[in-house]
Amino acid sequence: MRTRTRSLLVLLAVSLASLPAAAIDRKTEERLQNIERKLESRGLVDMLNRLEQLQQDMQQLRGELELQTHRLDGIERRQREQYLDIDRRLQEIETRSTGVMAPVPGVDAGTGGAAALPPVAPVTPVTPGAPSLPPVAPVTPDTPSLPPPVAAADPAAAQAEYDTALAILREGRYADAAQSFKQFLARHPTSSFAANASYWLGETYYVTRDFDQSLATFTGLVNNHPQSPKVSDSRLKIGYIHYEKKDWKAARQELEGVVSSYPGTTAARLASDRLARMKKEGR
């Protein structure tokens, strides 16, 4: 067995030795080139397949992102509309509960009875045969002239202007909404809608990142309408504005005040969330 193996090896060596060296090198080179071409073609195919898969994944992710963005926009729009609608309904309830009837002419506002009438001069009986005397005009005491009554503001007109400004705000026309709310406050500074109009004016400035105007508006609401339900939300926004202006100390002080002053409210919960965020950020 060993003898046969050795014989075969000797024959193989003799046959290889008989071939020219150039022929051996050429065949080896051709084989290597074929192997390289196969490897390169497989690598390119794999790379193309991976690129196509990545493109499909990107398209799918882009579609999902657009869908989620559309859903978020719809949710934010519905929340804004619901918030504005709730605010409008609450304002109508407040207006009906605090409305005062104007006095009716000729009726005593204190007693509800008829107003006092001027006294009637007694009639003197005429004696037959007596000469008729000219009538004597009654003497009335001089009374100072009173100024004409000032017409009270029309609540219906004020509410119509307020609703118009809110409708503009719902459409996202913040500059026009700000102008409408400013005109409303200039025409109806004592209206029952004044506090709400001030709040939404501050919101228009806040959304457009005019933080100085927004801060001044919300601060004015807190000072001028301390009993308004909008005070807690205004103080919350004041804290947000200080946060945006990177005044961490003022933001923390205002937000902690909202939490302590209005426990259990939405404003207090949002203030707590922002305080937790500040703590996480190391503010």
Is 31 inside any structural domain? yes
Is 204 inside any structural domain? no
Angle at 252 between CA 251 and CA 255, to 5 degrees: 85
Is 151 inside any structural domain? no
Q: What is the average pLDDT across 193-221?
A: 95
Q: What is the pLDDT of residue 247?
A: 94
Residue 20 vs residues 11, 24, 25, 130, 231: alpha-carbon distances, Å: 16, 7, 9, 178, 102
Is 53 inside any structural domain? yes
Residue among 263, 262, 259, 257 nearest 273 (CA): 259
| Structure-block tokens of residue 64 | 């999902």
Whole-number Å distance between alpha carbons of 35 and 41: 10
Name which of 70-79, 103-112, 146-155, 161-170 the model is least confident about. Answer: 103-112
Q: What is the pLDDT of residues 115-133, one digit of tens each?
A: 333 343 444 444 444 444 4
Is 30 inside any structural domain? yes
Residue 85 has pLDDT above 80, yes or no: no
Residue 12 vs residues 15, 16, 25, 139, 270: alpha-carbon distances, Å: 5, 6, 17, 159, 90
Is 106 inside any structural domain? no
| Structure-block tokens of residue 214 | 């927004």
Helices of type H across the chain: 2-18, 21-98, 155-170, 174-187, 194-207, 211-224, 230-244, 248-261, 266-281
Residue 178 has pLDDT above 70, yes or no: yes
Residue among 191, 206, 193, 188 nearest 166 (CA): 193
| Helix (H/G/I), strand (E/B), else coil: 92 | helix
pLDDT grade for 251, boundaries at 50, 70 and 90: very high
Q: What is the pLDDT of residue 34?
A: 73
Is 166 inside any structural domain? no
Is 29 inside any structural domain? yes
| Structure-block tokens of residue 153 | 């503001």
**Angle at which helices 174-187 and 155-170 pack, to 10 degrees?**
170
Q: What is the average pLDDT across 48-61?
A: 72
Tally of domains in the chain: 1
Q: What is the average pLDDT across 242-248?
A: 94
| Most confident listed range (44-48, 111-115, 251-255) | 251-255
Whole-number Å distance between alpha carbons of 52 and 71: 29
Say if residues 233 and 267 touch (Cβ distance below 8 Å): yes
pLDDT grade for 30, boundaries at 50, 70 and 90: confident
Q: What is the residue-wise DSSP string for 266-282?
A: HHHHHHHHHHHHHHHHT
Q: Which domain holds residue 50?
A: 23-71
Q: What is the average pLDDT across 121-147?
A: 43
